[in-house]
Structure 1
Amino acid sequence: MISQQAYRPVPYASGNGYPEWPRGMAPVQTMQPMTGFPPSVSSGSPMTPTGTVVQVQTPQYEQSYIENILRLNLGKTGTFYMTYENNREWNAKIFKGILEAAGRDHIIISDPATGKRTILLMLNLDYATFDEPLLYQYPGVIGNPGSSPVR
């Protein structure tokens, strides 16, 4: 049976209380069991020096990465300008289609006339254009920014 006891990392420390390790090396950590602490403390919540648990509010928006912006605009028709280095047949190519999906490293579009789907690599994406307003959430806005169209 696996113990449900919480553990906390303990860094190797020098006499001044700060971790030290050789240049270019990561700190060495060992795991020691925590005992006698309430679940909120052992859950990894930040604490003040007096031991008060600090409540951290997580943002309700996605960071402004291209794949997140594209995900907000699934179903819209876009034109995707791609560049392929060292390609003798074509160096640059333009794809137009309905945005079906967007991941960290890929975009999936479909041709509305044929239904043919194409996977494009983000690595080759130069830029994209859309003929309609885009939904966009900008990180760092105070309050709940919601999705607003960009014109």
Structure 2
Amino acid sequence: MTTPPAQSTVRMGTIPTAREESYIENILRLNRGKIGTFYFTIPSGEVGENQGGTTRVVRGAVVEAGRDHAIIAEADTGHYYLFPMIYFDFAEFTEPLTYLPGSTLPPR
């Protein structure tokens, strides 16, 4: 006699648990509207020519953040910037950040 293969079931109305997903875009989403200083390094030149880059500093608020991008509204000018997350270095805030360890936010 053989045993049947193990099956996983999810009841209607329940959400399966997931591992911690404290990705930067989730943290930025939790802190929409908070003023911060954001640092992005944009590569300059071709590979092998100039290995450095230009650091762009924007003081403003997170409007939206996705898996591969962040939209920042500059505080002084009202300009909106769409930055690829690959260029994101770090951010500084003058107020406490909202952070929910282990939380998963739906993708945007």
Residue matched to 1:81? 39
Residue deviations 1:94-127, cap 9 Å, x none?
1111111101111111123332211111010111
Runs of 4+ aligned structure 1 residues displaced above 4 Å come to: 50-57
Confirm whether residue 106 of structure 1 aligns to residue 69 of structure 2. yes
Query: Structure 2 unaligned runs (5+)?
Result: 104-108
Instruction: Tell which has more relative contact order, 1 or 2 (C-alpha 8 A, sep 6+).
Output: 2
- Root-mean-square deviation (CA, aligned residues, Å) is 3.0
Question: In the alignment, residue 96 of structure 1 is paired with which amino acid?
Answer: R
Question: In the alignment, residue 33 of structure 2 is paired with which amino acid?
Answer: G
Map 1:23-102; keep pairs closer than 5 Å.
Answer: 49=4, 54-55=9-10, 58-59=16-17, 63-87=21-45, 91-102=54-65
TM norm structure 2: 0.68
Distance 1:116 1:53 in 2: 49
Of the two, which has the highest radius of gyration? 1
Query: Structure 1 unaligned runs (5+)?
Result: 1-47, 140-144, 146-151
Q: Percent identity among equivalent residues?
A: 41
Q: How many equivalent residue pairs?
A: 92
Equivalent residue for 2:89, pick from 104, 126, 130: 126
Distance 1:105 1:51 in 2: 37
